[in-house]
Structure 1
Amino acid sequence: MLTKFLYKQVDNTSLIVFRVFFGLLIGLEGFGAIATGWVKRTFIDPEFTFPFIGFEGILTPMQQTLQKPLLDFNLFGIEWLNMAEYTYGFYFYFALMGICGFLVMIGYKYRWSIGIFTILWTAVYLMQKTSYNNHYYLLVLLCVFMWIVPAHQYLSVDVKKNPALKKNYMPNWVLVIFILQLFIVYTYASVAKMYPDWWSGEVTTNLMAGRKHVPIVGEFLQQKWIHNMLTYVGVAFDLLVIPGLLWKRTRVFFFVCSIVFHLFNSFVLHIGIFPYMSLALCLFFFEPKTIRNIFIKKKEIYTGNEVIVAPYSKIIVPIFVIYFISQILLPLRHWTYEDDVLWTEEGHRLSWRMMLRSKSGHVTLKVVNKENGDITYVRPKEYTSEKQARRVAVKPDMMWQFVQFLKKEFAKKGSDVAIYANGLVQVNNHPRQRLFNPDVDLAAEEWSHFSHHDWLLPFKSKYDQKKKRGSKK
């Protein structure tokens, strides 16, 4: 029954049009990252980029290689055309991603183009956590989906060169994986917002306070009623948008809501291509004839009802089931850790916990020479960018990585050291308090992916303090 449902053939207009938009957007992402200076700020300027723990052995040497110029434009002591600045490996890396994106858009050497982009983008995602964003993770998943689906079988250069590839249908599982993935993303994004700090409006108030400089609407966004509206709209939209798009009677209404919601995010929050990617994904909810009439009027609509079971279906179906079970369970894993995920960050990533809190702090590291007891005080910004230093102060995994980096730096000078972190952190409007135990040598601690770290101090919520004061009365 499941196999028949997944391999029933349906019209592929939505997938073909989405491929065009998807390729355009990822192409712009590659070249845009260079043009906006994001590549330079994130990968070239910093000495250390905080890769995902466990991937350092592969990604750190790769990063170090790409940080260096690959070409020399100096001839007879003259820097020709001022091009030397643009010869760093990372510029070529992102330019290649941009080219692959545009090749995906036109459907040329499709499997190779999307495959290369997927590998390169996944490495970008894993190579740095300073600019971590759930949207980057979503793009990794969408790239994998686009790699395996037959998105090049119509309106592509590949079909032009090989007409035998041309088809106007696809298996139903293509629609299922995109819609189910979006349902998981939006639903968890909504559920994660259902906590006291969000309902009180302080999260949106803090978020909009940082957008006061936005042209035209910056001052307008500081009004309390705007914060209250965004609080409830944020929860309701994420919870209802996928069911609303699935139901024909409410589809147009929720699509209009999506346009307003995502354009607001684009203009106010400046989150790159992702609002437009989200709008492009709405294509999978509309009738093929509607999409055809707008974008590809000459395309024939598939009206058949065939079930074409692929020879590898006995392997693929279990893989899909396991994948989506893991997608459902991953966002729940923070409940297996002690304390609040907003505080410890344990179980935060890969969980669709987006725009949920503001977090700030400062930290000083006490480096103690184990041989002679000499003490050196280090601030992260002495070794990192300002943005990285802010992340190190509030994110335990980045703090642990920085401590290990610092330990190696002192070891190069012949010093075996113990390192202690001392600082205060604030989450939303809760009291400033210690996150890291100042009495624990973090340089001696091991990182665990699956258990709580005892060197993180318990979170003291303002709500707990109110309860204590209320009980005393």
Structure 2
Amino acid sequence: MSKIFSYLQSNEDSSILAVYRIFFGILMFCSIIRFWLKGWIEELYIIPSYHFSYFGFEWVEPLGNSTYFLFLICAISSFCVFLGLKYRFSIIIFFLSFTYIELMDKTTYLNHYYFVSVLSFLLIFIPANASFSIDNLISKKTYSTVPKWTIDSLKLLISIVYIYAAIAKINSDWIVDAMPLKIWLSSNYDLPILGHLFQQEWVHYFMSWAGLLYDLSIPFLLFYSRTRIFGFLLVVIFHVLTKVLFPIGMFPYIMIFSALIFFSADFHRYILNILRKILNNFIKLNSEITTIGIYNIQYIKPTLIVISLFFILQFLIPFRYVLYPGELLWHEQGYRFSWRVMLVEKTGIANFKIVNNDNTSFYVDNANFLTPFQEKQMSFQADMILEYAHLLGDYYSQDSADKVQVFVDNYVSLNGRKSQRYVSSNVDLYSIKKSLKHKTWIIPLQDEIKGI
């Protein structure tokens, strides 16, 4: 206990959090503006007539044209985080608005959206405005140090992402068959220089194994000063390469800047000194700011309890898949929110049949209800198939005294395998309630994927 108490009393230079806040804020601001300029707000949240919800969050819905206002709030709050202006209020608003956006449609789920949500939640309890912030100018005081655990908690979260991503890759598809990288790399045949190389089978295996070893080793390489530069170079090379090969948005930049948190205080002070020199060319910074040694966090006990519970959940949630029998990569029960990054290449087809009470039936044109992107994602994800079946059941039961039945003729291919039936065709999906229980109506994969 004495060691724990001593650790909680230790401090670290506040410049580390200041640099992290600056990079996080500006990257989030640019991400939201990019999303807006590409027309994705309209394409993903305005045009679709239906949006797939997360279990327990059915009340979260797009706000029509007011969705633009939600994105505006998110952008402004991220810019205020960047400036360190009303930081605590701004990061709370950013967390709430960004997470609401993430929850509006399950179709758009990405691991890095989830990472931004959990990271912004953690930043609520971290004094990232202790130095080099507008809040310092307003209060006329700055802090030279912050509790060390506030910085280490960010390092721990980043390490969890990498290590859990590595653990998820320990399976026969990834290690033995180089899947799904074999599919993705081969499709990049038109890339200059690298295109021909990506057709070679040994490259597929090299990239698969390198990806596993990279995820597993990066936290340790960044933690130790002797290997930190080498580790950071690997981070840059890896994420630049993934940016070139895969359409994964701002995620590479987020992970590159996140790696900087592992660098020494001298490095972060150097960055802030450069920023000060740049700012001094435009504005005169207030020299009357009082420097205070230690930033003392208010309500320290409740804060530590919340953060402890937060990390317990981060450790446990990725392992919830053990509650479900069968092959995780196939049924995907417990797949989301578990740092399973780029492990599957799935294609599917789902034809839904409506059966009336008089036993007459007809097939549904999915294009009447879903966008092409929604239909593609729905076709191989069981919870979305069930949710869509309920949408169809509700719609076609409106003009009937009794409920209709909804069946699906559904085939899915996983990581280059031949397509097989995914959902039992003789199960009335409309009669099945949405829940977190095991979906017994999913037909097991006719193959074995060994590993974790």
TM-score, normalising length from structure 2? Answer: 0.90
CA distance in 1: counterparts of 2:309 and 2:93, whole angstroms: 25
Establish whether residue 314 from structure 1 lines up as the match of residue 301 from structure 2: yes
Which runs of no fewer than 5 residues in structure 2 stay unpaired? Answer: 278-292
Deviation at 1:310, TM superposition (A): 4.8
Q: Does 1:162 align with 2:162?
A: no
- 1:265 paired with 2:242, answer yes
Aligned to 2:14: 12
Q: Hey, what's the Cα distance between the residues in 1 that align with 2:449 and 2:147?
A: 51
SS of 1:167's partner is: strand
Q: Displacement, 1:160?
A: 1.2
Letter in 2 for 1:45: I
Q: Determine which of 175, 187, 190 is the counterpart of 2:163.
A: 187
Contact 2:408 2:425 in 1 (8 A): yes
- Determine if contact 2:407/2:428 at 8 Å carries over to the other structure: yes
Does residue 455 of the first structure (1) align with residue 434 of the second (2)?
no
Which of 242-251 and 95-104 deviates more?
95-104
* SS of corresponding position for 2:363: strand
Deviation at 1:4, TM superposition (A): 3.0
Deviation at 1:309, TM superposition (A): 6.8
Residue 107 of structure 2 is matched in structure 1 by: 130
* Equivalent of residue 50 in structure 1, options 49, 52, 59: 52
1:238: how far off?
0.2
Q: 2:74 maps to which residue?
A: 97
In structure 1, give the amino acid aligned to 2:203: I
Indicate the SS of the match to 1:296: helix
> Contact 1:10–1:171 at 8 Å: present in 2 too?
yes
Q: Does 1:59 align with 2:60?
A: yes
| 1:119 alignment partner, SS class | helix
* One-letter amino acid matched to 1:178: L
More displaced 10-residue stretch of structure 1: 345-354 or 205-214: 205-214
Q: 1:37 aligns with which of 19, 27, 39?
A: 39
Query: Is 37-46 or 438-447 further displaced after alignment?
Result: 37-46
Q: Which residue of 2 aligns with 1:205?
A: 182
How much does 1:216 deviate?
A: 6.7
Deviation of residue 93 (structure 1)? 2.0
SS at match of 2:106: coil
In structure 1, the partner of 2:383 is 397
Gaps of 5+ in 1: 68-87, 300-305, 465-473
Code of the residue aligned with 1:231 in structure 2: it is S
Q: Does 1:422 align with 2:424?
A: no
Name the stretch that deviates more: 205-214 or 333-342: 205-214
Determine the C-alpha separation between the residues in 2 that align with 1:255 and 1:160: 33
Q: Which amino acid aligns with 1:319?
A: V
Alpha-carbon displacement from aligned partner over 1:41-92 (angstroms, at most 9, x marks no partner): 2111111121212211x213xx1xx22xxxxxxxxxxxxxxxxxxxx32222
User: What is the deviation of 1:121?
Assistant: 0.6
> Aligned runs of 1:269-348 on 2, under 5 Å?
269-296=246-273, 310=297, 312-348=299-335
Shift of 1:108: 1.6
Q: CA deviation at 1:213?
A: 5.4
Deviation at 1:219, TM superposition (A): 4.9
Distance between the aligned counterparts of 1:343 and 1:382, measured in 2?
A: 28
1:364 alignment partner in structure 2: 351
Relative to structure 1, is the Cα distance of residues 290 and 140 closer, same or farther in structure 2, using a 3 angstrom cutoff? Answer: same
CA distance in 2, matches of 1:248, 1:149: 24
Q: Is the 8 A contact 1:7 1:309 kept in 2?
A: no
Change (3 A) 1:393 1:296: same
Q: Which range moved further: 372-381 or 195-204?
A: 372-381
CA contact (8 A) 2:80 2:86 kept: yes
The change in CA–CA distance for 1:307 and 1:93 in structure 2 (over 3 A counts) is closer
Q: Which residue of 2 aligns with 1:445?
A: 432
Q: Give the alignment of 1:462-473 within 5 angstroms.
A: none
- Counterpart secondary structure, 2:420: coil
Are residues 1:230 and 2:207 paired? yes
Residue 118 of structure 1, CA deviation: 0.9
In the superposition, relative to structure 1, how do residues 14 and 288 fare at CA in structure 2: closer, same or farther (>3 Å)? same
- Match of 2:393, SS? helix
Identical positions, percent: 30
* Cα RMSD (Å): 2.3
Alpha-carbon distance in structure 1 between the residues aligned to 2:353 and 2:69? 40
CA distance in 2 between partners of 1:227 and 1:424 (Å): 27
Does the CA-based 8 Å contact 2:102-2:108 persist in structure 1? no
- Structure 1 Cα separation of the partners of residues 192 and 94 of structure 2: 34
Q: Quick check: 1:33–1:94 contact (8 Å CA) kept in 2?
A: no
* Separation (CA, whole Å) in 1 of partners of 2:364 and 2:384: 16
Q: 2:230 aligns with which of 253, 275, 285?
A: 253
Correspondence 1:376 to 2:362: yes
Question: Deviations along 1:139-177, whole A, 9 cap, x unmatched?
Answer: 00111122221111221112112213x112111111121
Aligned equivalents of 2:88, 2:189: Cα separation in 1: 44
Deviation digits for residues 381-418 of structure 1 (CA, Å, limit 9, x no counterpart): 33111111111110011111111111111123336211
Query: Residues 308 and 430 from structure 1, CA distance in 2 versus in 1: closer, same or farther, beyond 3 angstroms?
Result: same
Give the aligned partner of residue 147 of structure 2.
171
Residue matched to 1:73:
none
TM-score by length of 1: 0.86
Of residues 8-17 and 414-423 in structure 1, the stretch that sits farther from structure 2 once superposed is: 414-423
